[in-house]
Amino acid sequence: MSYDPGNSGAWRNDGGVQPHAYDPDLHPELFRGVATRRVFAFLIDMVVISVPVILGYIFIALFGVVTLGIGWVLFWIAWPASVVWAIVYYGASIGGPSSATVGMRLMDLELRTWYGAPGYFVLGATHAVLFWVTVSFLTPFVVLVGLFNGRRRLLHDFLLGTVVINNSVRVPAPQTARTW
């Protein structure tokens, strides 16, 4: 099988092209409202991540008062612990059975690889890190990329080969998804 330029898939080891599992032309309902839902899912996830961090800072402040200032040394590890917590949250959520964070589940979204496989821990953690890196350096571009493609993929989605779909619509993948 040779390369078909009309097929926006990727090369396979056997020389063929594996098509994308989710085609916006065949199933536009999978991508309807995804951009707006992603914004709200992000806000919900920020609350889920922030609550334990804020409680941790309050605990450290009170612990410092009780220990006459010695406990305030823990503030040095609070920020790195917050970053680790966010990465573990995204990795475990996207690597879980629903392939979605709490915010994504509430908004009926699901993260999949371009060939239809569910997310896994490393993909979820990397997705979070790349999101924060791209937003930090290229904020307007990250948002604009999602407005000009049929799958509503953001820049970090392109880099990782992921797609976020509307989970309230169930369309079977055209082929079995391999996770290896």
pLDDT at residue number 172: 56
Question: In the predicted model, what is the mean pLDDT of residues 106-125?
Answer: 94
d(CA 104, CA 111): 9
pLDDT at residue number 171: 56
- Phi and psi torsions of 161, nearest 5°: 75, 40
- Kindly tell me if the per-residue pLDDT of 7 is higher than 70: no
pTM: 0.81
Structure tokens at 96: 């879980």
Which residue bears the tokens 């309902």? Answer: 29
pLDDT confidence tier of residue 9, bands split at 50, 70 and 90:
low
- Give residue limits of the domains in the chain: 17-166
pLDDT at residue number 1: 36
Q: Which of 8-12, 138-142, 165-169 is predicted least confidently? A: 8-12
Per-residue pLDDT tens for 19-52?
A: 677 777 778 888 888 999 999 999 999 999 999 9
